[in-house]
Structure 1
Amino acid sequence: MKFLITGGAGFIGSAVVRYIIENTENSVVNVDKLTYAGNLESLSSIEASERYNFELVDICNSAKLEKLFVKYKPDVVMHLAAESHVDRSIDGPTDFIQTNIVGTYTLLEVARKYWSSLSEKKQAGFRFHHISTDEVYGDLGGPDELFTETTPYAPSSPYSASKASSDHLVRAWMRTYGLPTLITNCSNNYGPYHFPEKLIPLIILNALDNKSLPVYGTGEQVRDWLYVEDHVRALYKVVTEGAPGETYNIGGHNEKMNIEVVQTVCDILQELRPQSKRYSDLITYVEDRPGHDLRYAIDASKIQKELGWVPEESFETGIRQTVEWYLNNIDWCQRVQDGSYQRERLGVAQ
């Protein structure tokens, strides 16, 4: 099959591209406009594959998208392109509205027109898979509650509101036009190639540089942590075996308070890169961000029962692999931190 993947140079997107090229016979067209979070170095292991193509295109540009659909004739669209950092959405929501809402609408319309032109057999096999977040559900009340696929939406931030909007658009395009869509809502991802503004890589790299380790509020916010490669296996299962019109929640079964995550990273670093002053001494509590949800937790029983997916990594195994990856790939981290990774973006753009 031919996969058109938007946002394939991002953290989760690049993991999806690597997985498909390395583990299947399918081909991939990576469509990414290479914002600050897009990094082609994350795809260096597969960029020479004859089954891989990269296209520098903004998903808000319908004319260019239409040309890509005509050129590559995809069987599957996996839509991961999104602005995703909550703090950035609070400081400047405009990009989130544009990319996450207008971009999704634009992609849906181009995909719908393309799908309408296909033969009946090709139409039946086509899939549009929208990758979303558990943050659309807001936060949970009691300690035993879990997000299910029917939990009402109650987004708290401009980021989650924009993703909720895009989810609604995807469902409407199936209900109104018949476009065969799927939606997945995942919990917090972590793992290799994660941009350093996110919690776990930020803590790792700050600790190695002997900088403060900022923790919002009291650090008691609870998240369900999902190793990115487990997430990718789930995404591939959904798009190849899931039923059109369905939503699947994907979680790691690993609820941890943020302060527990930070402390665990410090302990692993102390073991692997010991120093006289403990890394945990660098923890600093900072003012909580506005509208910060207290707890997210996923009920992933549907995808387990219907598609047979369960995460392979526990938080303990996944976080150790993650810390080890960053320690072994400091050069990649430094190129992201000093901005030199963007030279490749500029070279592609030229």
Structure 2
Amino acid sequence: MTKALITGITGMVGSHLADFLIENTDWDIYGVCRWRSPTDNVSHLLDRANRKDRIFFRYANLNDQVSLISVVNEIKPDYIFHLAAQSYPQTSFTAPIDTLNTNILGTCRLLEALRLAMHTDTSYKPVIHVCASSEVFGRIPADKKPETGIHEECPFHPASPYAISKTGTDLLGRYYAEAYGMTVMTTRMFTHTGPRRGDVFHESTFAKQIAMIEAGMIEPKVMVGNLKSLRTYADVRDAVRAYYMLVTINPIAGEYYNIGGSYTCEVGDTLNTLISYSTMKDKIQIVTDPERLRPIDADLQVPDCRKFKAHTGWEPSIPFEKTMHDLLDYWRARVNKGEVFLTR
């Protein structure tokens, strides 16, 4: 039986990837999470997990080498999707050491666990996806941005400790491929969102606040940060399909790919789109919150994805409008269940 290992399965992307693999493959899926990881995003999978029906959870921590070695040696996964990370750029400004440790050294620990398993058993040859980020490109000046968008060979200029950590993650993936002959591929996924998106990210906090306003939980004011940043959006469900294609369509050790959607707009336009879907659209005010502004921002995140598309045939299929509708409905459902949230 083919086995896939997903680090960070309880996150937005990891949970959607598990859904995709269950629906579209016959693989067994092993999800790595910390003992304290919230299970909200995988609650619909817990009954299957309890019945040991193709989904299994294993406790490990990127900051604990022994736990990673134990999981890898127990499972010997055929495919590894390394998605776990400290993934919020804003938090990285106040917790840079934790971000660097988790994302750079954590990735190194996982790759070392896999390298050691391959050294012990020379027949073991897993395919490994290391998830970096478009944030590695950081602040590309407008006059330096290629007309076709940010391509793979654009220089890195990370604009946060998070982005620096993902630069290290990216380089580690390529190093282990080149130095040890491991089939590791790295992706720089641009903005991707949809249901289960964490409320610390701009489009999700907008949707959450709108849902809370509609329910009368907060005043009709949406608190915002930088609305001028330019973003290209993909749906998370298109993103996980891309990750599956990455590891199953002629995987090439050491390759690295930009992946992103096809809809580009300013963050302010995203906010206006979500507000236009609201029953309170005529009453909502927009208020800038200084605490939501980054010290510096990666503000021209427009990708050139031709390399990945040419290699795999992948194309995004879910329209931006559906993604935003589904994101808003996700938060409406949570609000309607009576959940209480921090107003962030």
- Would the TM-score normalized by the shorter structure come out above 0.5? yes
Residue number in structure 1 paired with 2:4: 3
Q: Which whole-Å deviations, capped at 9, do the CAs of 1:108-152 have from their partners, x for residues lacking one? A: 1001111223344x42xx211101110101133337351111122
Q: Is the Cα–Cα contact under 8 Å of residues 79 and 128 in structure 2 kept in the other structure?
A: yes
Q: Is the Cα–Cα contact under 8 Å of residues 9 and 34 in structure 1 kept in the other structure?
A: no
The runs of 5 or more residues in structure 1 that have no matched partner are 339-350
Determine which of 145, 160, 166 is the counterpart of 1:163: 166
Offset of residue 230 of structure 1: 0.5
Determine which of 284, 288, 302 is the counterpart of 2:307: 302
Offset of residue 298 of structure 1: 0.7
Determine which of 84, 100, 110 is the counterpart of 1:81: 84
Q: How does 1:53-72 map to 2 (within 5 A)?
A: 53-72=56-75
Determine which of 204, 219, 225 is the counterpart of 2:233: 225
Distance 1:106 1:263 in 2: 43
Offset of residue 47 of structure 1: 2.5
Q: Which has the higher mean CA deviation after the structures are superposed, 72-81 or 15-24? A: 15-24
Q: Is the Cα–Cα contact under 8 Å of residues 136 and 153 in structure 1 kept in the other structure?
A: yes
Distance 1:194 1:145 in 2: 28
Q: How does 1:13-32 map to 2 (within 5 A)?
A: 13-32=14-33
Offset of residue 308 of structure 1: 0.6
Q: Is the Cα–Cα contact under 8 Å of residues 151 and 258 in structure 2 kept in the other structure?
A: yes
Offset of residue 331 of structure 1: 5.6
Q: Which whole-Å deviations, capped at 9, do the CAs of 1:279-329 have from their partners, x for residues lacking one? A: 2x2x11233321112211111111211101000012122212222232234
Q: Percent identity?
A: 26
Q: Is the Cα–Cα contact under 8 Å of residues 138 and 297 in structure 2 kept in the other structure?
A: no
Q: How many residues align?
A: 326
Distance 1:115 1:329 in 2: 44
Q: Is the Cα–Cα contact under 8 Å of residues 275 and 281 in structure 2 kept in the other structure?
A: no
Residue number in structure 2 paired with 1:127: 127
Residue number in structure 2 paired with 1:51: 54
Residue number in structure 2 paired with 1:264: 273
Distance 2:152 2:60 in 1: 32
Offset of residue 41 of structure 1: 2.1
Distance 1:276 1:20, change over 3 A: closer
TM-score normalised over the length of structure 1: 0.87
Q: Is the Cα–Cα contact under 8 Å of residues 192 and 260 in structure 2 kept in the other structure?
A: no
Paired letter, 1:245: G
Give SS of 2:198's match.
coil
Distance 1:332 1:53 in 2: 28
RMSD of aligned C-alpha atoms? 2.0
Paired letter, 2:229: Q
The runs of 5 or more residues in structure 2 that have no matched partner are none
Q: Which has the higher mean CA deviation after the structures are superposed, 107-116 or 326-335? A: 326-335
Q: Is the Cα–Cα contact under 8 Å of residues 208 and 328 in structure 2 kept in the other structure?
A: no
